Each structure stands twice: as structure tokens, then as C-alpha cells.
């Protein structure tokens, strides 16, 4: 019973994050927030796995470092997009324009 709770809850949370990411494609900020939610739940799943297998937590700290770098990169892209286009709508952003 506890094993299904250990794996079921984080897996459900990751799937809800993926559903929110797929359904909200209008604003860049909502997509970045759902990506951070998915990364946080993946960290939770990784932490449970490493504790159950009695491994060291060094890899989880490395995962957190990469996720913070990913969040900073996403925020910098959001700021540059707002400065050039005035909003974070994907419809006003033309990919073919440099």
C-alpha cells in the first residue's frame, strides 16, 4: 500500500503538470510555471527513489542546480520577449522574424 503511494502520488502530480502544460499554450509565463511544477514533482520522485534505494543525495542536488538554471533561462527569455514585443502572447511572436 505504501509503495503505491510512494510512486503513485508523484506520478499523478507529474501527469497533471504535463496536462496543464499542454492545455495552456497562450502565455509564456503560464507555460514556464507549469514546467517548474513538473520539475519540482520530478525532484520529489527522484528524492523518493534515492531514499528507497539507499543512494546518496548528491544527484538530487545536481538535479536542483540544473532546474534552477533552467528557470533562470526561462525568465530571461520571458523578459527579453516582453521587452521586444510588449507582452508574452505566443500569437504576437513570429518565429521566422529575427
CB 60 within 8 A of CB 50: yes
- Is pTM beyond 0.85? Reply is no
Residue 33 confidence (pLDDT): 87
* DSSP-H helix ranges across 1-98: 2-23, 28-52, 58-85
CA 90 vs. chain centroid, Å, equals 19
Cell of 90: 505566443
Rounded to 5 degrees, φ, ψ at 86 are: 90, -10
Who has greater pLDDT, 10 or 38?
Answer: 38
| Average pLDDT value for residue range 79-91 | 77
pLDDT tier at 92, thresholds 50, 70, 90? low
Tens of pLDDT, residue by residue over 47-64, are: 888 888 888 778 888 888
Q: C-alpha distances in angstroms, 47 versus 6, 11, 41, 56, 66?
A: 11, 13, 10, 10, 15
Rounded to whole angstroms, how far apart are CA atoms 70 and 39?
A: 10
Residue 85 confidence (pLDDT): 75
Topology given in CATH for the domain delimited by 2-85: Helix Hairpins (1.10.287)
- Provide the terminal-to-terminal Cα distance of the chain, rounded to the nearest Å: 54
Residue 69 confidence (pLDDT): 92
Does the pLDDT at position 95 exceed 60? no
Tens of pLDDT, residue by residue over 68-80, are: 998 899 889 888 8
Amino acid at each position: 500500500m505504501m509503495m503505491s503511494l510512494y510512486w503513485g502520488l508523484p506520478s499523478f502530480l507529474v501527469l497533471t503538470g504535463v496536462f496543464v502544460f499542454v492545455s495552456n499554450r497562450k502565455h509564456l509565463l503560464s507555460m514556464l510555471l507549469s514546467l517548474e511544477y513538473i520539475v519540482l514533482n520530478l525532484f520529489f520522485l527522484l528524492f523518493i527513489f534515492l531514499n528507497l534505494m539507499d543512494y546518496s543525495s548528491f544527484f538530487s542536488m545536481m538535479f536542483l542546480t540544473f532546474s534552477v538554471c533552467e528557470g533562470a533561462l526561462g525568465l530571461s527569455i520571458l523578459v527579453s520577449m516582453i521587452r521586444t514585443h510588449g507582452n508574452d502572447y505566443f500569437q504576437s511572436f513570429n518565429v521566422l522574424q529575427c
